[in-house]
Amino acid sequence: MGRNLASVHWRAIVRADDGAATPRRKNDAVAANDDPLQRAPRARVTLLMLTALSTLAFMDRQILAVLLVPVKAEFGLTDLQAGLVTGLGFALTFGLIGVPLGRVADRHERRRLVAWCRGIGGALAALGAVAGSAWMLAFTRAGTAVSDAGGAPASMSMIADLYPPHERSRAMSLYTAGATLGSLLALLGGAWLAQRHGWRVTLATVGLVSMAAALALRFSVHEPLRGRFGSAAVPPPASTAAPGSSAVPRGAVGAVWADAVARWLIVAAAFALLAGYSFGVWNFAYLMRSHGLSSTGAGAVTGLSALGSLVGGIVAGTLTDRLVRRNPRWQMGVPIVGMGIALPAGLAYLALAPGTAAWAVLAVTVFSFFISFWVAPTYAALSLVVPAERRAVANAMVMIVGAVGGSGIGPVLTGALSDAFAGRVDGDPLRPALAIMLTLLLGAAAALALAMRAYAGRHAPVPPASRVLPA
């Protein structure tokens, strides 16, 4: 009886949302009443293309870290100048254009926006190969932010319209795995290519391949119908605002932030990204300084932990899709469990004495596996509570937190803490600095718990896949 009621309620939500969906252009959108068996191959192809573009974007984003030594030598850069070229310009550009491009994605065709942004990002990456000065290279690196700022939020908005809620976390986990895969390709493939052909050929290759993949996306996939599967969440209670006043803040950003679930999810992401980026940037140096590993050995451990993170993210997405059919609280419960295991594993890793490399490898791999548990379920949860016409802006808000706060502020703050501890603690001052940054995961878990409480009261039961019928 419960399942039948859930199924009826689910079908009503889908039909209601489809009726209000944005009109589609001929041959551009997926029909709302197509058979799920016919939809599945098309959705998989689109997801594969979007993931491939994300992988190439992250490979380009991380490639300069691999190429830093020859680039510094050719242009005579200091460490500070190298940092400005590799990171700050990208973060600032992303922060400036992320939300505006998210608004474009929420109002216009996302497929074209993804193709254009990924293509322009690839073109600027390739242009960096002919840079004659450090300033020219810095300009091209900052410009590549358009790829992620415009491509990623729109891609996740498309995925939300390709997969129903009971499959969405796993789909998001496959897409977000592209970031880890891209980092691995930069670490392995980028180093191999640079060693044989130089840094300029490496940049040109990544950029040209990205342009080709963007062109393939533009002409090989369809724009999915916006709001195809509606939302699994009941809208928030109506405001008791006085007559004539606006119940929802003006602007997409204000409207997203006014939603309690979305707000706490963004706060949780901020804490998690600060901790994760800080650890990721400094862990390579920590392995060499505290455990005496060579650069090759530290690279191998870093690659292994990245692989653990990739697998952990996919496991989390799959597990979430299974558990939310029993209780919707697991949409945030799975990330909370991941935080609860990752934090002690990370602190145990930092507590290991020098010379215990084998235990260190085990601990950091466990940490990396569970630290990624929050990513896909959080993006999927955002797609369930934010209306279809604001999903890209909501995703952009999370990604700006990552680009500006995580990769911009986090590593700098960690370095400042390490400098403050130097001479005041025994051993490597990076150890207490990283431990402090990891404790930010407690803030992430607390914010997720608050999001769970608000989410559980609004979420309709998710029926088994066999009960979900096409509208």
Q: Any idea where the domains of the chain sit in the sequence?
A: 35-223, 253-460
Entry field: residues in the chain: 471
- Dmax (CA) of the chain: 72
The pLDDT of residue 405:
78
Q: How many CA atoms lie within 13 A of 156 on its CB side?
A: 36
* Nearest of 206, 204, 58, 210 to residue 131 by alpha carbon: 204
Instruction: Judge contact between 13 and 458, C-beta under 8 A.
Output: no
The pLDDT of residue 57:
93
The pLDDT of residue 206:
93
Residue carrying structure tokens 């932030």: 257
What crossing angle do the helices spanning 330-351 and 260-291 adopt, rounded to 10°?
A: 20
- Rounded to a whole number of angstroms, the distance between the first and last alpha carbons of the chain is 21
Instruction: Judge contact between 146 and 97, C-beta under 8 A.
Output: yes
Q: What is the pLDDT along the chain (471 residues), one digit of tens a residue?
A: 444 444 433 343 333 333 333 444 434 444 434 444 445 788 899 999 999 999 999 998 888 777 877 888 888 877 567 766 766 778 888 889 999 999 999 999 999 999 999 999 999 999 999 988 888 988 898 889 999 999 999 999 999 999 998 899 999 999 999 988 998 888 788 878 888 888 899 999 999 999 999 999 999 898 998 887 765 444 554 443 444 444 444 588 888 999 999 999 999 999 999 999 889 888 888 888 888 888 778 878 888 888 999 999 999 999 999 999 999 999 999 999 999 999 999 999 999 988 788 899 999 999 999 999 999 999 999 999 999 889 999 999 998 888 887 777 888 788 888 888 888 888 888 899 999 999 999 999 999 999 999 887 775 444 444 444 333
Residues 81-137: tens digit of each pLDDT = 776 676 677 888 888 999 999 999 999 999 999 999 999 999 999 999 998 888 898
Domain 253-460 in the same topology as domain 35-223: yes
Given this structure, which CATH class describes domain 35-223? mainly alpha
Cα separation values, 381 from 46, 232, 260, 386, 465, Å? 21, 9, 12, 9, 18
Q: Which residues pair with 121 in a beta bridge?
A: none
Tell me the two tokens of residue 47: 């997801």
Tell me the two tokens of residue 86: 């590799």
The pLDDT of residue 243:
45
DSSP string, 409-461: IHHHHHHHHHHHHTTTSSS-THHHHHHHHHTHHHHHHHHHHHHHHHHHTTBPP
The Cα–Cα gap between 213 and 182 comes to: 14
Residue 26 in 3-state DSSP?
Answer: coil
Q: How many CA atoms lie within 13 A of 252 on its CB side?
A: 22
The Cα–Cα gap between 412 and 421 comes to: 14
* Rg of the Cα atoms in the chain: 22
Quick one: how far is CA 86 from the chain centroid? 19
Tell me the two tokens of residue 321: 């899709």
CA angle 327, 333, 337 (to 5 degrees): 140
The pLDDT of residue 437:
93
* Nearest of 466, 456, 447 to residue 275 by alpha carbon: 447
Residue carrying structure tokens 């403050």: 420
Instruction: Judge contact between 200 and 132, C-beta under 8 A.
Output: no
C-alpha torsion sign, points 156, 124, 210, 278: negative
* Nearest of 97, 202, 203 to residue 152 by alpha carbon: 97
With a CB cutoff of 8 Å and minimum separation 6, the contacts of 201 are 129, 193, 194
**Per CATH, which fold does 253-460 belong to?**
Growth Hormone; Chain: A; (1.20.1250)
The Cα–Cα gap between 387 and 126 comes to: 37
Residue 223 in 3-state DSSP?
Answer: strand
* Nearest of 261, 275, 263 to residue 371 by alpha carbon: 275
The pLDDT of residue 201:
93
Tell me the two tokens of residue 199: 């840094």
Amino acid, single-letter form, for residue 90: F
C-alpha torsion sign, points 29, 35, 38, 41: positive
Residues 411-441: tens digit of each pLDDT = 878 888 888 888 888 888 889 999 999 999 9
Quick one: how far is CA 452 from the chain centroid? 20
Tell me the two tokens of residue 70: 């020859």
What DSSP character marks residue 236?
Answer: P
* Nearest of 92, 73, 140 to residue 405 by alpha carbon: 92
